[in-house]
A and B are shown apart, each in its own frame.
Chain A
Amino acid sequence: MRHIREGFKNIGRNGWMTIASVGAVTTTLILVGAFLALMLNLNEMADNIEDDVQIDAMIEQTADEEQIQNLGNEIEKINGVQSAVFSSKDDQLNSLIDSMGENGQAWQMFEQDNPLNHVFVVKTADPQDTAPVAKQINELQGIQSVNYGQGVVEKLFEFNSYARTIGLVLILGLVFTAIFLISNTIKITIMARSKEIGIMKLVGATNGFIRWPFFIEGLLLGVLGSIIPVAIILTGYYYLVNNISQHINYSFIEILPFNPFAFQLALIIVAIGALIGVWGSVMSVRKFLKV
């Protein structure tokens, strides 16, 4: 109880420094929150796209049923293949007509004389294996060609991994800046109270006893700093979901739903705020306890 009371008192005593470091946490967390929202959505999209990646292995027109059967078995034996589903040329035509919508009608005239191939639709367990697996399938007897969005898929994977790394580095950088600022604020509190700490040690206070109020001060600074970012993220994301997502029709761009994503994000933001605060305080107290 005493520790909590002391922690709150310090917040008041420090006035401007408190405001400055809460401000620093606020700014950091707004940026971190925006980055996280962006990154997690990009990640989700990337995952969706990656999951959609499939290999269409076109079977030579001349292949008979037995050969097709064998091909299917061989494809399934390739390392990394999750499934290989046969799709007849009629199925292919139907799905083509469906995907064209109204324009698809024109293709119906091919129903009598279908120019398409039978196809094995192959999925890999790990999307990253797509290219090597496709290459192996292409080398099989009886396969005319493979199609998996060559070139585009590799670029997509590359882009995703860059985006993830850069996002992570930025977030870590911001978090460390905020920790630095908080630890400075608390250092000032401590220097102002160094005489008090000295006397506390003299009369037999344990380090834990001395540390607690500062720990709580840091925690409070961090949590206070997360209030505005949480508000911004909740309202901002609500607005985004309700206004922007309606204008985007591409099936693969799907913004994560407000509930639960925005709330999870808010929770993460508060947790990062608390962590920054506590870390900052622990770092600055450590030195002063060596008496």
Chain B
Amino acid sequence: MILMKDVHKTYANGVVALSGINVDIKQGEFVYIVGPSGAGKSTFIRLMFREVKPSNGTIRINDINVNDLKERKVPYLRRNIGVVYQDFKLLPKLSVYENVAFALEVIEESPAVIRKRVMEVLDLVGLKNKARFLPDELSGGEQQRVSIARAIVNHPKIVIADEPTGNLDPETSREIMKIFEEINDRGTTILMATHSKEIVNTFRKRVIAIEDGLIVRDEHRGDYGYES
């Protein structure tokens, strides 16, 4: 599913972000990526959908070698990976419905399919009755749910979330986590970078801890392991 072998990443400005990552994540797993700020979590995540290219080592996702992937094939890799950000990345002028539909328009789905799938995922995240709202008219938690809906609307095999609860209060965070668990129950692999001790310790999953560009801990049903 996701396989990394001896992956190194040094940025053009000389910053070493990752120095020898080995990891194997199976289809359907739910994995937290934890570690102090600047440890390399973001780089680790961005390697998956080729926002960043590794300097060394191999990365295989769904049996595709991401290293050798031609530039024009990258979009097709990304269609199998849904991404959720801390700051939601919604388009403010588009309605909830349009923001989610956008992900399908881009891959040129037919209007009928788009309508059906968008309503399905909005139902899943509990926003069916707010489809016509603009992002600004929603709470932070609701906006994050829209961005989750957008990430899963084309049924990706992997969902990557970078601090999805970073801007949310504990109560809302738990609601968002329940949605992620539901998505995971349907067989989608979930990778989540987080700083939330409470979430990691409440919803027990596999925990990968990264420090100074190396994996220092990899436990099933692990705990957060840092003072928050």
What B residues does A231 contact at CB under 8 A? none
Residues from chain B with a CB closer than 8 A to the CB of A204 are 75-79, 103, 106-107, 154
B177 to chain A: closest CB distance in Å? Answer: 22
A199 touches B72 (CB 8 A): no
Assembled-state Cα–Cα distance A199/B77 (Å) = 15
Which residues of chain A come closer than 8 Å to B103, judged between CB atoms? 203-204
A185: shortest Cβ distance to chain B, in Å? 20
Cβ–Cβ < 8 Å partners of B78 in chain A: 201-204
- List of A residues within 8 angstroms of B154 by Cβ: 203-204
- Classify the interface of chain A: helix, strand, loop or mixed: helix
Asked whether A2 is an interface residue with its Cβ less than 8 Å from the other chain, the reply is yes
In the complex, how many residues of chain B place their beta carbon closer than 8 angstroms to a beta carbon of chain A? 19
Residues of A in contact, count (CB < 8 Å): 15
Q: Give chain B residues whose Cβ lies under 8 Å from the Cβ of A198.
A: 89
Residue of A199, A200, A203, A291 ringed by the most chain B CB atoms within 10 A = A203
Q: A206 and B91: CB pair below 8 A?
A: no
B72 touches A203 (CB 8 A): no
Complex formed: what's the CA distance from A112 to B79 in Å? 100
CA distance A207 to B51 in the complex (A): 15
| Chain A CB within 8 A of B117 CB | no
Q: Which of A196, A202, A205 contacts B107 (CB 8 A)?
A: A205
Determine whether the beta carbon of A2 is less than 8 Å from that of B51.
no
Taking the nearest CB of chain A, how far is it from the CB of B62, in angstroms?
14
Decide: B51 and A199 in contact? CB cutoff 8 A. Answer: no
Shortest CB distance A248–B (Å): 59
B49: A residues at CB distance < 8 A: 202
Q: Which of B66-107 contact A (CB under 8 A)?
A: 72, 75-79, 83, 89, 91, 102-103, 105-107
CA distance A200 to B91 in the complex (A): 11
**A202: B residues at CB distance < 8 A:** 49, 78, 83, 89
CA distance A198 to B154 in the complex (A): 18
List of A residues within 8 angstroms of B150 by Cβ: 203
CB neighbours (8 Å) of B83 from chain A are 202-203
Question: Contacts A203-B78, A203-B150, A204-B79 hold; do A209 and B51 have CB atoms under 8 A apart?
Answer: no
Q: Is B171's beta carbon under 8 Å from chain A?
A: no
B108: interface (CB < 8 Å): yes
Are A203's CB and B106's CB within 8 A?
yes
Tell me the residues in window 1-19 of chain A with beta carbons closer than 8 Å to chain B beta carbons: 2
Cβ contact within 8 Å between B91 and A199: yes
Report the bound CA distance from A200 to B71 in whole Å: 15
How far, in angstroms, from A195 to B135 measured CA to CA in the complex?
Answer: 15
A205 to B107, CA, bound (A): 6
- Nearest A residue (CB) for B79: A204
A203 touches B102 (CB 8 A): yes
Instruction: Please name all residues of chain B whose beta carbon is closer than 8 Å to the beta carbon of A291 when the two chains form the complex.
Output: 51
- A204-B107, A205-B107, A209-B108 as given contacts; A199 in contact with B102, CB under 8 Å: yes
For window 175-195 of A, CB contacts with B under 8 Å fall at: 195
**CA of A209 to CA of B104, assembled, Å:** 12
Please, what's the 1-or-0 string for B42-74, where 1 marks a CB less than 8 Å from any CB in chain A?
Answer: 000000010100000000000000000000100
Q: How far is the CA of A100 from the CA of B79 in the complex (A)?
A: 85
Contacts of A195 in B (CB 8 A): 89, 91
Given contacts A195-B91, A199-B89, A199-B91, contact A206 B72 (CB under 8 A): yes
CB-CB < 8 A to B51: which residues of A?
291
Q: What is the CA–CA distance of A203 and B106 in the complex, to the nearest angstrom?
A: 7
Give bound CA distance, A33 to B18, whole Å: 60
Report yes or no: B72 in contact with A207, Cβ–Cβ below 8 A. yes
Contacting A2 at CB < 8 Å: which of B75, B89, B105?
A: B105
Can you give 9 contacting A-B residue pairs, CB < 8 Å? A2-B105, A195-B89, A203-B79, A204-B76, A204-B78, A204-B107, A206-B72, A207-B72, A209-B106
Residues of A within 8 A of B (CB): 2, 195-196, 198-207, 209, 291
List 7 other contacts, CB 8 Å, given A198-B89, A202-B49, A204-B76. Answer: A2-B105, A199-B91, A202-B78, A204-B78, A204-B79, A204-B154, A206-B75
